[in-house]
Chain A
Amino acid sequence: IRLKGEKDEL
């Protein structure tokens, strides 16, 4: 599961 805020990469 993807955790919130995990997409911290650009």
Chain B
Amino acid sequence: MNAFRLAGDMTHLISVLVLLLKIHTIKSCAGISLKTQELYALVFATRYLDIFTDFISLYNTVMKLIFLGSSFSIVWYMRRHKLVQRSYDKDHDTFRHQLLVLPCLILALLIHEQFTFKEVMWTFSIYLEAVAILPQLVLLQRTRNIDNLTGQYVFFLGAYRSLYILNWIYRYFTEPHYVHWITWISGLVQTLLYADFFYYYISSWKNNVKLTLPA
């Protein structure tokens, strides 16, 4: 495993920990989109169907369990925990996530490498992950008042995507036959979605002012 990949996984892990920290210790999910969190739970559930059938490494299995466990517990917290539930900004989190799930499913049925259940589900999860952040970005833009932990959560998620792109470039030049168009194009689309947020995040950090997004 190369350094970009490891750094990518670690920033992904940090983003989840930041979010769990916010939810678990402060008992608040203000500014967090339940729609995005539900989409991530669906992404991991459909991607890691191989968790008990294909063993890759202990690292791989443990990370999969962490991402599955954390995404479902975040959804549980936001839906069922009395205090956390109260801080959920339901009125602004109105993105219709069916509008993302259905096109991704259709696209996965049309464009995939093998027409098997596991492969189509895996491809669906790749497409869905690319756009799953959209409800969160829309919510940020609507609330405009972004607290530090929420900003850091989205920043680390974006960092994870950018590092994965560097990882793919590295692997392409160092490993034979390393070509994965579906993953690359989806990953690129996903990273581009963060570009706008990154711009405002970094300029607010540079100018040492609170992060706000333009309307």
Taking beta carbons and an 8 Å cutoff, which residues of A are in contact with B? 2-5, 7-10
Taking beta carbons and an 8 Å cutoff, which residues of B are in contact with A? 5, 9, 12, 50, 54, 56-57, 60, 63-64, 67, 113-114, 122, 164, 167, 177, 183
Q: Are A10 and B113 in contact (CB under 8 A)?
A: no
Q: Are B12 and A7 in contact (CB under 8 A)?
A: no
- Residues of A contacting B164 in the complex (Cβ-Cβ under 8 angstroms): 9
Residue on A nearest B183 in the bound complex, by CB: A9
B57, B60, B122 — most chain A CB neighbours (10 Å): B60
Query: What 3 A-B pairs are tightest by C-beta distance, nearest first?
Result: A8-B56, A10-B63, A5-B56
- Residues of B contacting A2 in the complex (Cβ-Cβ under 8 angstroms): 113-114
- Residues of B contacting A5 in the complex (Cβ-Cβ under 8 angstroms): 54, 56
Q: Are A10 and B60 in contact (CB under 8 A)?
A: yes
Q: Are A8 and B57 in contact (CB under 8 A)?
A: yes
- Residues of A contacting B183 in the complex (Cβ-Cβ under 8 angstroms): 9
- Residues of A contacting B113 in the complex (Cβ-Cβ under 8 angstroms): 2
Q: Are B122 and A7 in contact (CB under 8 A)?
A: yes
- Once bound together, how far apart are the Cα atoms of A3 and B8, in whole Å? 23
